[in-house]
Structure formats: C-alpha cells, structure tokens
C-alpha cells in the first residue's frame, strides 16, 4: 500500500466519521423534540384534570403574578427568572409537593414529574427550581391572556405552555429574524 492510498483511506474514514457525528446530533435533537412534545401533552392533560377539580387552570395569586407576567409573545429567553418562577408555580400546583418534594397537606397530585424533568439550583440536587425541558431550559407557562383578555400578551385565553427548544437569545428579538423564535418552539397553541 502506498502513502497516497493510505491517505485516501484516512480521508474517507474522516468523511464517514463526520457524517455519523452530524447525523447523531440530528437524531438527538429529534429525540429531544419528541420528548418535549410528549411532556407538553402530558402536562396539558394534567392541567385539564386540575381544571376539572378546581374550575380554573393554575394561576398564582395577585401578589406574585408569575404566571400572568410571562408573555409568550415577548419573553423569548428561557433563562429569565420569570420563566423559572412560573414553571415552579406550575410544578407546585400539579405535583402536590413543595420544592424539596415533600407532600403538602390538602394538595392533590395531578402529575408525577420524572427526575430528568426537574431543574435544580446550582449545587443543590434536592430542591426543585423549575420544570426542565429536554433541552435543559425551563418550560414556559403563562396565563397572561386569561388575566387580561383581548390583550396582546398570549396566544390562548386559558394558558400557554411551551418549550423554546433552546432557541431563546434575549428578551426581544431584533427586526424579524427568520424564522421567528416561536415558529421553532414546541407549544400547546
């Protein structure tokens, strides 16, 4: 075997390795998207059960306004505290446990969150900080339009639930990036 033949074989191996790596990244992202779709559907079903028992979807008290202040039409960065606060409130209402995952008296459990669905504060693996999507960010949960009907603050008159699939880059995008962040999101609207 000559050096040229050896170089050709090595180049072919590198090309094949590059193809395999790029395909595996695509497959992983597809799997994450599928898991997020399934989780949103399951959480939505739990929200319907909550509404059947309580007459309304979970909405925090007027003092906090976490779920009413998160706006799916304007808040694009899932690392904002308002995402995590609204998501944590949803966790409390659906799980029936506190942040340390201890049962709360007189609270019903509507959804059993899996460990990989829970985000924790840095350095603390026992306290829940938010519901984490498969991309590592907080799920968005908003009742902004329910709080202010007819406003431009949400998509649904009931609740908005979404995963930004890691596309959030800031509070407000510059003139119309293509595609807009919401077109890539996994959402209930």
12-41 burial string, b = 16+ CB within 10 Å, else e?
Answer: eeeeeeeeeeeeeeeeeeeebbebbeebbe
Contacts for 67 with CB less than 8 Å, ≥ 6 apart: 58, 59, 60, 86, 89, 90, 141, 142, 143, 144, 159
User: Average pLDDT, stretch 161-178?
Assistant: 61
**Helices then strands (H, E): number in the chain?**
5, 5
Most confident of 107-121, 157-171, 175-189: 107-121
H/E element, 186: strand 186-187
- Residue 96 region by backbone torsions, left for phi larger than 0, else alpha for psi between -120 and 50, else beta: left
Angstrom distance (rounded) from CA 93 to CA 109 = 8
d(CA 74, CA 170): 10
Q: What are phi and psi of 16, to 5 degrees?
A: -65, -40
Q: How far apart are CA 140 and CA 161, in angstroms?
A: 5
Q: Against a cut of 0.85, is the pTM above it? A: no
Domain range summary for the chain, segments of one domain joined by +? 3-187
User: What separation in angstroms does the CA of 152 have from each of 42, 76, 82, 101, 162?
Assistant: 27, 15, 18, 36, 17
Encode pLDDT of 16-55 as tens digits. Answer: 999 888 888 889 889 999 999 999 999 999 999 999 999 9
pLDDT digits (tens, 9 = 90+) for 136-163: 999 999 998 888 888 888 888 899 999 9
């Amino acid at each position: 075997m000559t050096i040229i033949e050896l170089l050709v074989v090595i180049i072919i191996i590198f090309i094949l390795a590059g193809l395999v790596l790029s395909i595996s990244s695509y497959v992983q992202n597809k799997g994450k998207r599928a898991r997020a779709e399934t989780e949103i559907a399951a959480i939505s079903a739990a929200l319907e059960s909550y509404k059947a028992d309580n007459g309304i979807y979970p909405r925090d008290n007027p003092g906090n306004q976490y779920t009413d202040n998160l706006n799916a039409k304007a808040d694009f960065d899932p690392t904002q505290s308002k995402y995590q606060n609204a998501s944590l409130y949803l966790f409390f209402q659906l799980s029936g446990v506190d942040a340390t995952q201890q049962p709360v008296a007189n609270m019903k459990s509507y959804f059993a969150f899996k460990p990989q669905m829970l985000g924790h504060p840095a350095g603390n693996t026992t306290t829940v900080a938010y519901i984490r999507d498969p991309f590592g960010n907080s799920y968005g949960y908003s009742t902004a339009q329910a709080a202010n009907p007819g406003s431009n603050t949400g998509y649904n008159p009931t609740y908005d639930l979404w995963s930004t699939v890691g596309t959030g880059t800031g509070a407000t995008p510059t003139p119309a990036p293509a595609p807009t962040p919401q077109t890539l999101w996994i959402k209930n609207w």
